Amino acid sequence: MPPTDHPARRPRVWNGNPYPLGAEYDGSGTNFALFSSSAQGVELCLLGEADASGRRDERRISLTEVDGHIWHAYLPDVRPGQHYGYRVHGTWNPADGLWHNPSKLLLDPYARSIEGEVDWAPACFAYDLDDIDQPNTDDSAPHVPHGVVSDQYFQWGQDRPPKVPMHRSVIYETHVRGMTLTHPDIPAHLRGTYSAMAHPAVIDHLVRLGVTAVELMPVHQFIHDHHLATRGLKNYWGYNTIGYFSPHNGYSTPSGIGHVQDFRTMVRSLHDAGIEVILDVVYNHTAEGSHLGPMLSLRGIDNHAYYRLVDNDRRHYLDFTGCGNSLNMRHPHVLQLIMDSLRYWVLEMHVDGFRFDLASALARELLEVDRLSAFFDIVQQDPVISQVKLIAEPWDVGEGGYQVGRFPPKWSEWNGVYRDTMRDFWRGEKSRLAEFGQRFTGSSDLYMADTRRPTASINFITCHDGFTLTDLVSHNHKHNESNGENGRDGESHNRSWNHGVEGPTDDPEITELRSRQRRNMITTLLLSQGVPMLLGGDELGRTQGGNNNAYCHDDEVSWFDWSAIDEQFLEWCQRLIRFRHDHPVFRRRRWFQGRNIRGIDDMSWFRPDGEEMSDNDWEQGFAQSVGVVLNGESISSPDRFGARIVDDTFMCIFSASDGELNWRLPASRWGQRWQVCFDSYRPEMGTPSQPGTTYEAGNIIALAPRTSVVMQRIDPARSLAPLRPETR
């Protein structure tokens, strides 16, 4: 539909200001500001109400005020709820990376609220589908999302960030829609939304489980890829961002208060329960894809500025992400876009931290990963962002992209080495004992040299990308046929083990062993130094049927099944998390010293015969069992008031051996008596209904195959100060 320019409908236009970028309603009118250094003209497009066909009338306003490549105007008559976009005029020269095409309605990169979706009509593409060098002149407005002027007022009340110290954190990675869509206690019209995440049924589950933070898979506005839409699938995970300021509109409540306010209500509700909100953010690429992708926003606004182009072939993009493009971290306005976005989510949406997808891509100023890149320098000095939780996925798909242990001091990292080591250990791989010891104690070999602490390591065994914990012990091979890619997608080397049968089985011995292995792995995870991260649904026994790349499944493959909860395993997880919270020896702020403190070592490792491990013992390739004593009297870091932290002393035994072991407890200098708290072979052990067995120093324990046991020292006389609860 052509633009309507009737004088009676023409809005008043004032000069406005170049800052802030985006559409900013100040209570009287709205300031619009858009950066483009390559535009020759910019039109602000105000969209009217949609008719029955979904089309909207459009009023175009030429922006004549330009300061520092920022095109701006103030419209005193524009209020929240106004739909808008931009049309940018300029050079059309795809060979030089210039794709300006004013027939395409472009999304404001700073839009606080976004409505609509991409319907993948030919008009969504800047070029003629039969000749890429020729522009497509069809109007894209009816086929693409657009911005909505948003009222930023919200009654936060007494909301305060929980500010859980990192060493006390237990992170729960989950998906807004997948976690809530089938929950029977959530009203049907709320399921799959931010409001569902705020529902008491979900919050009660999280509180009972004991997690301190939810790490939400992408909630920035994203689109569903063309190749998935043609196969009836969706980009369920959401790693296809098109708007860095708007909560994804697909998770809003129908006929509700809008996705911006829904999101804020969710954050406020989680904070009321003491649970932090961490966002999984995708600043490494956008949904516009390769040079053959759609024109939705940045490509049409300023392709040279926003994306990394091949130096001698600027039609094409440098792609460090495997998604078609990479944002240009060398450009100041790209850095500003990201930092403005991060600050917005902290200051205006009250989130508590970020997990950066493919974070190595953010460190590529030239081609190599540079830990001193401008992005990390800016984050370091920013008074807002430097104070929240910063977690890197420390790899991308480019050369040299695997950067575990190499991020700046204030950052934590997903520790992929931990994941691989623990999977290998529990499936019985040889020569993993020394590696197991490093990972269990916080991976000091990766993080200690740079003044970082054990909290630099985000420990995980499963995450959204790969098998669930149930599938990890049930499948040797991925089963991704339903993804429609002939099994080519997803990781092929999963370090998994089906324990004798591929997939579900009625064999009671295999079923019991699989359950025990899940208990072994979650016990190791929750008692390791560092920060544990659980994959949401693992505590329930969730399965994806062996699919290890369910990114495209908005269906039963990905949704939590609340009707099939493994109650015994859920209770095991709850007990272990509570145990970790109760005992600071398992979540030390500082590294083990490995030396004598107050007459006894802070920790020591043991062989099955009760003798301390020697250097040579660690190198025995056949060894698959180890014990460790953690001395609660020797925690070296004080609490926030300078008082000494004192805990009980524990012994943990981990045996991946396929045979029963006669395990001798160490000599009495480590403790006279020990009581079992957890035994993965007998999960009822240590519960109120069945107190754990007590052993004397030097006793022999008949240790079942593939078992983990945790024991607490209960000597009758202890010269210890009373345990002081941590208040940090």
List, by residue number, the catalytic residues.
357, 393
Locate 208 and state its tokens. Answer: 């009972």
Question: Three-state SS across 231-287?
Answer: CCCCCCCCCCEEEEEEECHHHCCCCCCCHHHHHHHHHHHHHHCCCEEEEEECCCCCC
CA distance 550 to 426: 25
Task: Give the H or E element holding residue 336.
Answer: helix 332-347
Provide the pairing of β-strand 313-317 with 353-356.
unpaired
Tokens of 259: 């996705």
CA distance 536 to 534: 6
Q: Which amino acid is at 636?
A: S
User: Which residues have a Cβ under 8 Å from the Cβ of 348 and sit 6 or more positions away?
Assistant: 152
Q: Residue 514 corresponds to which tokens in the numbers above?
A: 């699989």
Tokens, residue 191: 């399921």
- Label residue 451 exposed, middle or buried (CB < 10 Å: 0-12, 13-18, 19+): exposed
The tokens describing 512, both together, are: 């019991």
What is the three-state SS of 613-651?
Answer: CCHHHHCCCCCCEEEEEECHHHCCCCCCCCCCCCCCCEE
Q: How far apart are CA 68 and CA 19, in angstroms?
A: 11
Q: Using only C-alpha atoms, what is the Rg of the chain?
A: 28
Residue whose pair of structure tokens reads 């109007």 in the numeric block: 139
At 400, list the tokens: 């040299």
Q: How far apart are CA 599 and CA 360, in angstroms?
A: 44
What is the CB neighbour count within 10 angstroms for residue 230?
A: 10
Query: Which H, E and C letters describe 676-697, residue by residue?
Result: EEEECCCCCCCECCECCCEEEC
CA 418/CA 457 separation, integer angstroms: 9
Euclidean distance between the first and the last CA atom of the chain, given in angstroms as a whole number: 61
Distance from the Cα of residue 408 to its chain's centroid:
19
Give the pair of three-digit tokens for residue 475: 């499948």
DSSP state at residue 105:
-
User: Would you state the structure tokens that stand for residue 664, as one six-digit string?
Assistant: 């001798």
Q: From its phi and psi, is residue 608 left (phi > 0), alpha (psi between -120 and 50) or beta? A: alpha
Helix (H, G, I), strand (E, B) or coil at 208: helix
